[in-house]
């Protein structure tokens, strides 16, 4: 069995899965870049997935996050809220960070990788960047997946004389577990021969009905609550398709909501995932070790 790793979106909350991963790597004695045979990631998860796919350790990715979060979440002028193109954060520093760390093109990834984005001006909104996208820059695919509405501006490029506009893959696949499964079903050596380790970056928490049921209130509720929960159905489908024993869902349970852009909570979130690793260590190690390390 091969190990495939899926990481959902969640902004700065991505520090949590990385803390879990680096603890896991310490106990495995090798990196998830070495154990993993395929990856999928949406939004902040696309940075993690791409990093692992290029050979980075979770420890290196953790440090990369911690050192750059304040730069990534650089607020724009408050005056932008009244414009017809509102977003909270300037994506230029995120773009530079990605360009510095993911300089190659999609076809150079040595293992299967799937990065969902949302195609804003095409016949279909669903776009999954993979190795078949050839000369597309890795950084562009990742940046497009990270462009969460109201948080960051959309990204665009000109291709064959047409302007293509993209935003966050979380709009339709915040948790890319089914994107990963669908992609691997087309790869001969993976058919019936893989397990999925799935990281729910937003964590698991109770649902509550919206207090504000105006059109604005419903919009905020859907964006903040339900888009983030799209992975739940994907998890159930994956269990049904490849067997529950072949899917391990990593998601600490919390009672409160953690905002994806509240940097004051980074250490607290990291500690939550650290405690969670202690609780499930035995089971997750058994699951990963039941697969064959890709380096072998």
Residue 112, pLDDT score:
98
Question: Whole-angstrom Cα distance, residue 6 to residue 256?
Answer: 24
DSSP 8-state code for residue 253: B
pLDDT of residue 230: 56
CA angle at residue 54 from 53 to 60, to 5 degrees?
100
DSSP assignment string, 205-241: ------S--SHHHHHHHIIIIIGGGTHHHHHHHHHHH
pLDDT in tens, the chain (296 residues): 999 999 999 999 999 999 999 999 999 999 999 999 999 999 999 999 999 999 999 999 999 999 999 999 988 877 666 677 788 899 999 999 999 999 999 999 999 999 999 999 877 899 999 999 999 999 999 999 999 988 999 999 998 889 999 999 998 999 999 999 999 999 999 988 999 999 999 888 777 788 888 988 887 777 666 665 555 788 999 999 999 999 999 999 998 888 889 999 999 999 999 999 999 999 999 999 999 887 65
Distance of CA 166 to the CA centre of its chain: 16
């Amino acid at each position: 069995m091969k190990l495939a790793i899926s990481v959902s979106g969640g902004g700065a909350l991505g520090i949590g899965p990385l803390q879990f991963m680096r603890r896991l790597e310490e106990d495995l004695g090798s990196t998830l870049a070495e154990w993993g045979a395929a990856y999928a990631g949406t939004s902040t998860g696309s940075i993690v997935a791409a990093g692992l796919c290029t050979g980075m350790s979770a420890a290196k990715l953790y440090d990369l996050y911690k050192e750059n979060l304040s730069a990534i979440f650089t607020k724009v002028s408050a005056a932008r809220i009244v414009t017809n193109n509102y977003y909270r954060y300037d994506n230029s520093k995120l773009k530079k960070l990605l360009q510095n760390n993911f300089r190659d093109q999609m076809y150079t990834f040595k293992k299967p990788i799937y990065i969902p984005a949302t195609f804003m001006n095409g016949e279909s909104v669903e776009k999954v960047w993979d190795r078949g996208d050839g000369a597309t820059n890795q950084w562009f695919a990742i940046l497009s997946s990270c462009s969460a509405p109201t948080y960051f501006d959309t990204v665009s490029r000109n291709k064959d004389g047409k302007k293509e506009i993209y935003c966050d893959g979380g709009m339709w696949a915040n948790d890319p577990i089914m994107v990963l499964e669908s992609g691997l079903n087309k790869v001969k050596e993976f058919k019936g021969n893989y397990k999925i380790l799935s990281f729910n970056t937003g964590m698991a928490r109770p649902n509550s009905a919206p207090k504000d049921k105006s059109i604005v209130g419903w919009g905020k509720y859907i964006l903040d609550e339900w888009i983030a929960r799209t992975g739940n159905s994907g998890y159930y489908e994956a269990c049904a398709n490849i067997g529950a024993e072949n899917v391990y869902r990593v998601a600490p349970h919390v009672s409160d909501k953690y905002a994806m852009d509240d940097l004051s909570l980074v250490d607290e979130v990291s500690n939550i995932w650290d405690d969670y690793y202690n609780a499930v260590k035995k089971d997750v190690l058994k699951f990963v070790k039941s697969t064959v390390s890709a380096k072998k």
